[in-house]
Chains A and B, each alone.
Chain A
């Protein structure tokens, strides 16, 4: 059974850094396209970043240069390093697996990141 479990969210001050983790089971992270998607409170879904099985990475303009997606193949875990955090980064962050290219078939439960002083 495919499972994705996020961790690392919390309250952080503006300008701070946070690293989110997504522990995967039931499949191999490095063989799949993996994404982070976020949802601000009461708002819609916003795609954040994707890492392809070949290692290429892409980002939404809103986080480019501040966020870095990566994976640890030995731990079968996906990460999102978030630097220079802003109030507008406050959201639930979902880890997601694309079972089909471009289409997310499995989602984690989400982890809440709150950026506030």
Chain B
């Protein structure tokens, strides 16, 4: 089975900082990787699909990159409303798998 390793598990940054989260797959998953944002008590929200495509309506400060086994999610300038937990998610014909999540806080 494919394993997804997301890091860090939490981070604290200042408003305006660049924030980077990584997700590593245990085997080549091409670009079958999505990123979600989840705020407390809410359902997740899709931000990035297929590794680097910005979902409609999502601010351009969010971006994703990578292919194969190594992926990166970036917030170019952290805003107070970006406080949330972020998850990567791999998919293939048989399953979907989430990373462990990264909790982003304001310093």
- Residues of A at under 8 Å CB distance from B? 35, 37, 44-47, 50, 58, 60-61, 94, 99-105, 107-110
Q: Which of A45, A61, A100 contacts B49 (CB 8 A)?
A: A100
CB contacts (< 8 Å) of B34 on chain A: these are 102-104
From residue A31, how far is it (CB to closest CB) to chain B in Å? 18
- Residues of B at under 8 Å CB distance from A? 1, 32, 34, 36, 38, 43-44, 46, 49-50, 55, 85, 87, 89, 91-92, 94-101
- Do B46 and A47 have beta carbons less than 8 Å apart? no
Q: Which of A35, A44, A109 contacts B87 (CB 8 A)?
A: A44
CB contacts (< 8 Å) of A103 on chain B: these are 34, 46, 49-50, 55, 89, 91
Alpha-carbon separation in the docked complex, A37 to B89 (Å): 12
B100 closest partner in A (C-beta): A44
What are the 10 tightest A-B residue pairs by CB atom distance, in nearest-first order? A102-B91, A107-B43, A103-B49, A47-B96, A44-B101, A45-B98, A103-B34, A58-B94, A105-B46, A100-B49
23 pairs, A vs B, C-beta closer than 8 Å: A37-B44, A44-B101, A45-B38, A45-B87, A45-B89, A45-B98, A47-B89, A47-B95, A47-B97, A47-B98, A58-B94, A94-B43, A94-B44, A100-B49, A100-B50, A102-B49, A102-B92, A103-B49, A103-B50, A103-B55, A103-B89, A105-B55, A110-B43
A44-B87, A45-B87 in contact; A102/B32 too (CB < 8 A)?
yes
From residue A1, how far is it (CB to closest CB) to chain B in Å? 14
Q: Which of A50, A58, A103 has the largest count of B CB atoms less than 10 A from its CB? A: A103
From residue B21, how far is it (CB to closest CB) to chain A in Å? 14
A45-B87, A61-B1 in contact; A107/B44 too (CB < 8 A)?
yes
Q: Which of B46, B49, B96, B101 contacts A35 (CB 8 A)?
A: B96
From residue B86, how far is it (CB to closest CB) to chain A in Å? 11
Alpha-carbon separation in the docked complex, A86 to B98 (Å): 21
Alpha-carbon separation in the docked complex, A21 to B53 (Å): 32
A99 closest partner in B (C-beta): B46
- Do B98 and A46 have beta carbons less than 8 Å apart? yes
Alpha-carbon separation in the docked complex, A34 to B53 (Å): 21
